[in-house]
Homo-oligomer: A and B are copies of this chain.
Amino acid sequence: MTLADVAEYAGVSASTASRALNGRGELSPATRAAVLEAADILAFEPSHLARSLRTRRTHTVGFVVPDVSSPFYAAALKGAQGALEQAGYRVLLMDSTQAVDGEVAALRTLLAHRVDGVLVSTVGIDGERFDALVTRRGIPCVFFDSELDGAGDGAVLLDNAAGIELLVEHLARHGHTRIGLLAGSPRETSGRDRRDAFVAAMRSRGLEPEPGLVAGERWSLEEGRAATRAILAAGPRPTALVSSSVELALGALLACRELGVGIPDELALATFDDAYFAELLDPPLTAVAYDPADVGRRAAELLVAAIGDGEVPARDVTVPVDLVVRRSCGCGT
């Protein structure tokens, strides 16, 4: 079923059929009705391919994340998907598998598909490659969760500094001074920012973060477990641990269970990222919460604006975070 078929069936030309279907131009109600009916009868579904080729707009947006199966990215994807669909865009999904090469490959594929814009949570692509692939071709891009410094048309980031400060502050109130950090990827701004924020939060309290008490450089449960073991094994133990993500915190929980270290008695724990099951863990995790779907949604809105207006002044939005106190920090026991 092509537009030509519909036109023929309705006894009009292809252009008239096109106008009728798209509601453009002035045409007699009669012909319009005839075309609409024909389209309906023939179950005509216009080819986005042909349309896009002609109009140079695909109404498709690329979504690039380090790992779709991670709860955070899955939720962000859901939020973005909803907002994009509302705005008439489709989502082409790419998983960079936490590798810069994967990210570059994903971007290439998206370019080949002539997406109208891209939403990316970078794992650390370099400025040059990004510019060559995206900027230079004028593809609107908004980053989320992790950005490439000044690149792109905007970014939606979590308030990493505030979140870490909340965590350290709370632990400090409990009287802890030897606090360790489970860090995330140093190649992502989210990882770096949280680490930097930790150092800043400690220093602002006159505490010097000890090198041996900071470990981890990947966002995974396994890494959290290994890093926790490393921290616990290195010299005098910390009395509290700040984690840069739930995955990492879950690893800590596991490590402590294996080592027989009681939480929160022997080691208090508080983490960035809340999870819907945090309340049900043993012990319930004290965490910094925010709406992950919202970051996807906001990023999508920014992108849609950027695609529409061409050049929106790079606007960054910071998603607020909250502290949810439960028991792993030592409260309520």
Residues of A whose CB lies within 8 Å of any CB of B are 43, 45-50, 52-53, 58, 60, 63, 67-71, 73-75, 77-78, 81-82, 85, 90-95, 97, 108-109, 111-114, 132, 221, 250, 253-254, 257, 275-277, 279-284, 293
Q: Is the CB of B49 within 8 A of A58?
A: yes
Q: Is the CB of A109 within 8 A of B92?
A: no
CB within 8 Å for A280 and B293 given contacts A53-B49, A113-B48: no
The residue on B at minimum CB distance from A253 is B280
CB within 8 Å for A81 and B53 given contacts A280-B282, A293-B69: no
Residues of B within 8 A of A67 (CB): 78
Q: Which of B53, B132, B279 contacts A254 (CB 8 A)?
A: B279
Q: Is the CB of B250 within 8 A of A280?
A: yes
13 A-B contact pairs sorted by A residue (CB < 8 Å):
A47-B112, A48-B114, A49-B114, A60-B92, A71-B71, A74-B74, A81-B94, A82-B95, A82-B97, A92-B93, A221-B276, A280-B281, A281-B281
Q: How far is the CB of A270 from chain B (nearest CB, A)?
A: 16
Q: How far is the CB of A123 from chain B (nearest CB, A)?
A: 15
Q: Is the CB of A93 within 8 A of B95?
A: no
Q: Is the CB of B58 within 8 A of A69?
A: no
Q: Is the CB of B52 within 8 A of A81?
A: no
Residues of B within 8 A of A281 (CB): 277, 280-282
Q: Is the CB of A95 within 8 A of B68?
A: no
**In the bound complex, what is the Cα–Cα distance between A152 and B69 (angstroms)?**
26
CB within 8 Å for A77 and B58 given contacts A43-B132, A114-B48, A277-B250: no
**In the bound complex, what is the Cα–Cα distance between A69 and B68 (angstroms)?**
9
Residues of B within 8 A of A68 (CB): 74, 77-78, 81
